[in-house]
A and B are shown apart, each in its own frame.
Chain A
C-alpha cells in the first residue's frame, strides 16, 4: 500500500472524529512514515509496520472512547472486502511472479507452459457439465414459471452458475501455475489426484504479518494447515479437498468463519502484540516479505471466493426480500378487507405465514452477506410461519369451495339477463298470469335496489298486481305474486315476457334509474335470492324463487 493510499483509507475509517483531529492524526502518521522512509524503507514497508489498518483505526478510535461495535461501517463491507482483496491479490501476484520468474530455468518455463495448456484443456472440459447444468436449469424454469417470471430468474441462474465456474477456473489456474513454478518433478497422476495445490513455499517461523491469526481464521482449514507446515502429500490432499470445499461450503461454515473473525477482533483488540516481527521491528525482513506476498495469493483467492459467494447470496436475497414485502403488503390489505366485511381468513393466514417464511430466509441469507454480531435464533419464527401457512391453505380451500355454490359469474351476471317465461293462460282471455313464489317479500316502490333484490321490469302495459296470501298454497311460508296484464297489451304479454332479473347476494346493482322509474316496475325484495334459486317449473310457465 502506498503512503497516500494508507492515509486515505485511515482517514475514511476515522471519519467519526472531528476534521481537525483527523488531520492531526494523519499528519502524525505521515510524519512516522516519512521518518521510516528516511531510514531507507519503502512506502509499502513503512505502511506494513503499522499492522492491520482496521485494528489500527480501532485502536485510535478507542483512544476517543469510541466503541467499535457502533462504528463499524457496514455499508462498505462487501465492496471494501472485494475491492481490497482484488487489489491485494493482484499486488501480491505481481510481486510473487516477478520474484519467482527470476529463478526459473528454461526447463521449468517449458513445464510451466505445458501445464498452462493442460489447464486450458481441463477448463474447457469442465465447462461442459456447467453448460449442461445451465441449460437444464433455464429449461426447467421456463416450463415451471410463466414467461415474465422466467426471464429474470433465468438470467440470475445463469449468472450464478457462470460465477461458480469462473471461481473454479481461477483456483485451477492458480494451482497449476504454482505447480509450474515449483521446479518439481511432476507426474500426470499428481495432477489428477491433487488438482488443487497451492504451493507457495511456506516456511516455519514467525508470521510475517500481524494479522496471521485472522487470515487463518478466514481461510479454509486446508490452506491454513499447508501454510504452517512443510509440503506434504497428506497436506496437499487436505488442501485439495478444502479448496474444492470453498465452493461447496455451506452457508453456516462461511458465516462461522466470518463471525469468528469478528469475534476474535472484538475480543482481542490489541492483536498486533501477539505476533511481533521476528527480528527488530524496524529493519527490513526479507523473508517475511516474501512469505507475505506468497501468502497473499492464497488468502486473496480465498477471500475472493468468499466475496463472490456473498455477492451471489445478496442477489438471492433481493427477490426473497421483495416477496416478503409483497406478502406483508397483501396481509395488510386483507386485514383492511376484513374490516370491510370480506372475511377471507384462509388467504390472510397464508399471507402472514408466507411473509414469515420469506423473512426467515432473508434473515438467514443476510447473515452470510453481513455477519451479525449476535446470533438470533430463526427456528421458532420459521416454525410458527410454517404452521400458520399450513392452517391457512386448507382454510382458504374450504372457503373457496363454499363459493362454488354461488359461482361468481352467476353472482354478477350480465347486467341485463333476459329470461323468457311462458305464461299461464288464465280463464280470462285478457289476462295473463305470471307468478312466482317467495318468502318474506317486502314490496317497495322505491327503485333503489338493495341487497338481494329481485327486480322485474315489465314491458309497458297495464298490470294488476295480486298478492296471493291464500291458504290454498300448501306451504304457508310461500307466497306468490301474480301479475296480470290487462287490456290490449295482454296479447303481447301472453306471448312472452322479458323479465329482467338480477340476483345478487351482496352488493349493489347497476341500474339506470330512469329505466325503472315507472310505476309498472315492481321491486320485490326477497331474502337473498340468487339466480340459481330461481327456477322454472317443468312447463316453463312458472318462475319460482325458493330458498
Chain B
C-alpha cells in the first residue's frame, strides 16, 4: 500500500482511536494497525508529537503487570482538529472518487 496514503491519514486515525476512549500506547498501536498497517516505531513518536501540540494529554495508571501505563486522552483542541481533519478527508476523498470515476462534477452533470 502506498506509503504516502498512510502517512497522510495516520494523524486522523490515531486521533479517532483516542477519541473513542482513553487508551494506552501499546493498545493504541494494535487498534491503529487494524485500520492501517504501520510500524509502531512511527506511532510512538507521533503520539509524542501530538501530545506536545496539545491534542492529547496523558496520565499514568498503575498496572499490576509491570510499570505504570501512560494513557492518552484527547483534548478539546484535539477534538476540534480531529473533526476538521475528518471533514477535510471526507470532502477530499469524495472529490477524488468522483474524479476517478470519470470527469469532474460539472462534466458528470453535462453527461447526464
The residues of A with any CB-CB pair to B shorter than 8 Å are 25, 27-32, 34-36, 38, 49-52, 55-56, 59-60, 62-64, 210, 270, 272-274, 276-277, 280-282
Contacts and interface: CB of A to CB of B under 8 A. Distances in A.
B65 interface: yes
B46 A59 contact: yes
B10 to A, nearest CB: 8
Contacts of B39: 49-51, 210, 272-273, 276-277, 281
Contacts of A273: 3, 6-7, 38-39, 42
Interface size class of B (residues with CB under 8 A): 20 to 34
Contacts of B41: 49-52, 55-56, 59, 210, 272
Contact of B70 (A28, A60, A270, A277): A28
Contacts of B65: 38
Contacts of A60: 44-45, 48
Interface in B13-55: 25-26, 29-30, 33, 37-42, 44-46, 48-52
Contacts of A27: 67
Given A63-B52, A281-B39, 7 more contacts: A28-B44, A28-B70, A31-B69, A59-B41, A63-B48, A272-B39, A280-B33
Contact of A62 (B38, B40, B45): B45
B44 A281 contact: no
Interface of B: 3, 6-7, 25-26, 29-30, 33, 37-42, 44-46, 48-52, 65-70
A30 B67 contact: yes
Contacts of B44: 28-29, 32, 50, 56, 60
A56 B45 contact: yes
Contacts of B69: 31
B31 to A, nearest CB: 12
A56 B45 CA distance: 7
Q: Which 7 A-B pairs have the closest CB atoms?
A: A63-B49, A59-B45, A272-B39, A51-B41, A50-B41, A63-B48, A35-B26
B48 A31 contact: no
20 contacts: A31-B69, A32-B25, A32-B26, A34-B67, A49-B39, A49-B40, A50-B41, A51-B39, A59-B45, A60-B48, A63-B49, A210-B41, A272-B38, A272-B42, A277-B39, A280-B33, A281-B33, A281-B37, A281-B38, A282-B30
A282 B29 CA distance: 10
Residue from B33, B44, B66 with most neighbouring chain A CB atoms (10 Å): B44
B6 A64 contact: no
Nearest to A276: B37
Given A30-B67, A50-B40, A63 B26 contact: no
Nearest to A53: B41
A526 B103 CA distance: 104
A32 B39 CA distance: 13
A416 to B, nearest CB: 86
A62 B40 CA distance: 16
B33 to A, nearest CB: 6
A270 B37 CA distance: 13
A273 B36 CA distance: 10
Contacts of A36: 26
Contacts of A28: 25, 44, 70
Contact of B3 (A62, A64, A274): A274
B49 A62 contact: yes
B66 A34 contact: yes
Contacts of B68: 31
Nearest to B68: A31
B40 A35 contact: no
A295 to B, nearest CB: 18
Residue from A32, A56, A273 with most neighbouring chain B CB atoms (10 Å): A273
Residue from B49, B50, B65, B68 with most neighbouring chain A CB atoms (10 Å): B49
A25 B66 CA distance: 17
Contact of B42 (A25, A59, A282): A59
A197 B66 CA distance: 48
B30 to A, nearest CB: 7
A380 B65 CA distance: 66
B67 A25 contact: no
Nearest to A60: B45
A56 B67 CA distance: 22
A33 to B, nearest CB: 10
B102 to A, nearest CB: 31
A13 to B, nearest CB: 12
Contacts of A50: 39-41, 44
